[in-house]
Amino acid sequence: MRVIVQKYGGTSVGTPERIRAVAERVRRTRDRGRQVAVVVSAMGQTTDDLLRLAHQVSDQPPQRELDMLLSTGEQVSIALLAMALEALGVPAISLTGLQSGIITDDHHSGARIRSIKKERVERHLRDGRVAIVAGFQGVSNGYEITTLGRGGSDTTAAALAAALGAEACEIFTDVPGVFTADPRIVPRATKLDCISYEEMLELAGAGAQVLHPRSVEVAKNYRVPLWVLSGFEERSGTLVWEAKKLEKVVVTGATLNKGIAKVAICGVPDRPGVAARVFGALAREGINVRLIIQSVGQEKVTDISLVIGRSFLKQAVKILEGLRAGLKAREIQSDGSVAEVSIVGSGVAGTAGVASRMFRALARRRINIQLISSSEIRIACIVDAASGERALRAVHDEFQLYRLRRRLVAARPEARA
Amino acid sequence: MRVIVQKYGGTSVGTPERIRAVAERVRRTRDRGRQVAVVVSAMGQTTDDLLRLAHQVSDQPPQRELDMLLSTGEQVSIALLAMALEALGVPAISLTGLQSGIITDDHHSGARIRSIKKERVERHLRDGRVAIVAGFQGVSNGYEITTLGRGGSDTTAAALAAALGAEACEIFTDVPGVFTADPRIVPRATKLDCISYEEMLELAGAGAQVLHPRSVEVAKNYRVPLWVLSGFEERSGTLVWEAKKLEKVVVTGATLNKGIAKVAICGVPDRPGVAARVFGALAREGINVRLIIQSVGQEKVTDISLVIGRSFLKQAVKILEGLRAGLKAREIQSDGSVAEVSIVGSGVAGTAGVASRMFRALARRRINIQLISSSEIRIACIVDAASGERALRAVHDEFQLYRLRRRLVAARPEARA
């Protein structure tokens, strides 16, 4: 059985006409001799509409009931897509998270898929039906409906592709693929033909909205070729695959994250355990620290700088002020007007001079670098918010990403051939 | 555990404000020391909106997928009601048909409840929660979602009340109770304080829209006291209960059914099996014969008259024309402009002169009776459609139903005391 998993987002199924167009596309895939499992999100603004209703009856709707409510959005779109396919003469069946065997933990509104009991989906595929699976939702012990949180439908699709041993997982979005940078900011940005899971994870983590990191992780763990494709035009999209199957390039993309803030604990006596204490206090309140930098200070006094999501800034300052006396720190500084510009690529760490080229490119445009962090495949600089977009264009130009071409070194996976 | 089952229709939960009002009412019932299980329909026009969507993607949506689609309507309203209750500080949990253990046969869009696995609902009630159950839906073998068809939520409520051994089942509607006749046609119609299951069944079957017959049947079989109450005003409503617990009255109500038609097979040689053949042919096409009358003719030739739903008239005439030659019948006559006026009451058959009073009342107003049928507790006359409303007022006056008072002869059931 040669299976393709396709995922269509809310925009792709936003109207009855678009649902019929999706049905046509699914039929074409089926005509290429594939069994198709389709994962669908809720139609257009449905989720927002439902949330609005929830907030009209309750200031703090319980998560469990929110999951009950929101999961109806996908149930509507799977039923409609099944009807549209049947109307084309294509046997199809819609399946809720429960019916598809998407088993999650019991963390309502942010559940993680634990396993997929794939028997039912497989049986329908074997019987020649298109299996239409509700994205974003699953079921925990005792038939409790859960939802997977942001980007959940992508994760459903990747996990289902892994479970079914699918040839590929095709994610249809409202963009033509993954770009070297956000084309709204960098007009010269170019669409990537392929990218590795690791690079995609860094791009997603650094603010590229195309795929949720969790879906990329799942695809990576099970080596599922993951395509990012436009739901509105027939172009080849971007293939996310194993690094060894792709030609090596130094830098693949550049990102800008505007939604961050900087906090610094200044003048802390440099003793072991200080960073851990700060981290722990923030984590207990659910604040995710994206970056922590402890500068080596003089006279055994140090500064600890943290980068966090901007929406947590007030809360974080309050927590750190509470810790200040105990840490014997001089003061807490905060800056909500910063941005993070990054370059991502498999050659970033292994190629001499990449970091310095980035820094020089920023310096030439008189953009001050406030903090730097780097990983195996990424270098990130914190700059002031007003310079963010200029900084992104600067590094994109520096590495000539608009000229980026990259080839597969392995056979192209069959899907989208 | 003293349990009350309450059912709220689509109008009662039509807006967020109304859902909050329902939550208030549920809280008051709970404050009276009862455990409450609530059955809810889809909000207002939701079902119609979903059906419209379905018909925009398919001319003939499969029943299975329609059930998948429509069942989301109730899932939305149960989640919202649970949120509204929690916002009042009342512990509550919403449960889909599957989660409530509503097991049905697999007849999509018109399923019948086979059993209720009540353990989960009972556990939540025992734990002090309001259990909010999705009406109209259930699950057949293998987690397939089914819906119960028209009036399904009433049936869910009655069946749940039976399964839980509830003190009472309270059906909240947009009318204050069951009336002696439709007040829109008979201004003098009066609200009944109580009525027997059997009478209610005849009223419902004869066109009163208040309760679906199936829900009355279920309540009757399990002797659940069934209240019909207004969701918008605090009045006592109508109690539907066992006949022996109610004072006997001759006539309880009068009904008018405008949606019928008459077909006659004229000049059929009077042989055994003719009626069966006619019945069978219609039933195979899904046409329900409400009334069949075979007049004793002369010279071994008879006329067979049938009363059916008006929407089936064309189809029925076609079927009967197809049978005509085989039956050696002279002709098929049809009349789409008839109406059925009935009187219902436990004393109808047992009290001398009731039928003749009805016929005289109609005759005095020069209303011609085309067909008559009677059962233990009902007499129905077919009259021409134009006279229907006059006929209803005539019989309502004749039996002075506007003066009807009836008392319980048993202790009033606790609910609504």
Q: Work out the pLDDT band at A245, boundaries 50, 70, 90.
A: very high
| Chain centroid to CA A352 | 29
DSSP percent split of chain B into helix, strand, coil, nearest 5: 40, 30, 35
pLDDT of residue A294 exceeding 80, the answer is: no
Of A402, A408, A377, nearest to A241 by C-alpha is A408
Instruction: Judge whether residue A255 has pLDDT over 80.
Output: yes
CB B92 within 8 A of CB B28: no
Q: Give the distance from residue B58's alpha carbon to the nearest chain A alpha carbon, in angstroms.
A: 6
B158 to chain A nearest CA, in Å? 24
Q: Place A375 in a pLDDT band, splitting at 50, 70 and 90.
A: confident
pLDDT beyond 80 at A187: yes
Q: What is the pLDDT of residues A343-358, one digit of tens each?
A: 999 888 888 889 999 9
In the block, residue with structure tokens 């072991």: A272
Scanning A133-192 for CB atoms below 8 A from B yields 142-145
> Mean pLDDT over all residues of chain A?
91
pLDDT of B223-251, one tens digit each?
Answer: 999 999 988 777 789 999 999 999 888 99
Residue length, chain A? 417
Percent of chain B with pLDDT over 90: 71
Nearest to A76 among B23, B59, B69 (CB): B69
Hey, is the C-beta of A275 within 8 angstroms of any chain B C-beta? no
Those residues with Cβ within 8 angstroms of residue A285's Cβ, 6 or more apart along the chain or in another chain: A315, A319
pLDDT of residue B233: 77
Of A53-62, A80-89, A234-243, A395-404, the poorest mean pLDDT is in: A234-243
- Residue B325 burial by Cβ neighbours in a 10 Å radius (0-12, 13-18, 19+): exposed
SS (H, E, C) A261-310: EEEEEEEEECCCCHHHHHHHHHHHCCCCEEEEEEECCCCCEEEEEEEEEH
- What residue type is A62 in one-letter code? P
Alpha-carbon span B107 to B23, nearest angstrom: 33
Is A79 near chain B, with CB under 8 Å?
Answer: yes
When CB atoms are compared, the residue of B65, B93, B143 closest to A79 is B65
pLDDT given at position B417: 45
Alpha-carbon gap: A22 to the closest alpha carbon of chain B (Å): 11
Tell me if B413 sits within 8 A of B241, measured CB to CB: yes
pLDDT of amino acid B372: 87
CB A105 within 8 Å of CB A41 = no
Predicted TM-score (pTM) of the model is 0.86
Q: What does the pLDDT average to over A412-417?
A: 66
- Interface A-B, measured as beta-carbon pairs within 8 A, has a size of 117
Alpha-carbon torsion (B199, B202, B203, B209), positive or negative: positive
| Residue range A210-227: mean pLDDT, rounded | 93
Structural domains present in chain A: 3-246 (3.40.1160.10), 254-402 (3.30.2130.10)
Chain A contacts of B58, Cβ < 8 Å?
83-84, 86-87
Nearest Cα of chain A lies from the Cα of B27 at a distance, in angstroms, of: 15
Tell which residue, B236, B263, B265, B252, has the closest CA to residue B416. B236
**Which strands, in side-by-side order, build the sheet including B137-140?**
B113-116, B102-104, B137-140, B144-147
Q: In what order do the strands lie in the sheet with B194-196?
A: B92-95, B130-134, B35-40, B3-8, B168-173, B226-230, B238-241, B194-196
- CA angle A28-A33-A38, nearest 5°? 60
Question: How high is the pLDDT of residue B292?
Answer: 78
Q: In what order do the strands lie in the sheet with A137-140?
A: A113-116, A102-104, A137-140, A144-147
Residues of chain B with pLDDT under 70: 206-208, 296-298, 414-417
Q: Using CB atoms and an 8 Å cut-off, which of residues 331-350 of chain A contact chain B? A: none
Q: Would you give the end-to-end CA distance of chain B in angstroms?
A: 18
Residue contact B76–A56, C-beta within 8 A: no
Q: How far apart are CA A393 and CA A400, in angstroms?
A: 10
**A56 Cβ under 8 Å from any chain B Cβ:** yes
Q: Which residues in chain B are contacts of A27 at CB distance < 8 A?
A: none
Residue A417 has pLDDT above 60, yes or no: no
Q: What pLDDT does residue B207 have?
A: 62
Contact A98 B72 (CB under 8 A): no
Whether pLDDT at A190 is above 90: yes
pLDDT single digits (tens) A115-172: 999 999 999 999 999 999 999 999 998 899 999 987 899 999 999 999 999 999 999 9
* Shortest Cα distance, chain B CAs vs residue A369, angstroms: 48
- B87 contacts A54? CB cut-off 8 A: no
φ, ψ (nearest 5 deg) of residue B329: -85, 155
Q: How far apart, in whole angstroms, are the C-alpha atoms of residue A144 and residue A287?
A: 28
What digits encode the pLDDT tens for the residues B80-100? 999 999 999 999 999 999 999
Asked if B21 is an interface residue toward chain A (Cβ–Cβ < 8 A), one would say no
pLDDT of residue B373: 84
Whether residue B86 and residue A58 make contact (CB cut-off 8 A), yes or no, is yes
Q: Check residue B415 and give its pLDDT.
A: 62
Average pLDDT, chain B: 91
pLDDT confidence of residue B285 = 86
pLDDT in tens, A311-351: 999 999 999 999 999 989 999 999 999 999 999 998 888 88
According to the model, what pLDDT value does residue A297 have?
65
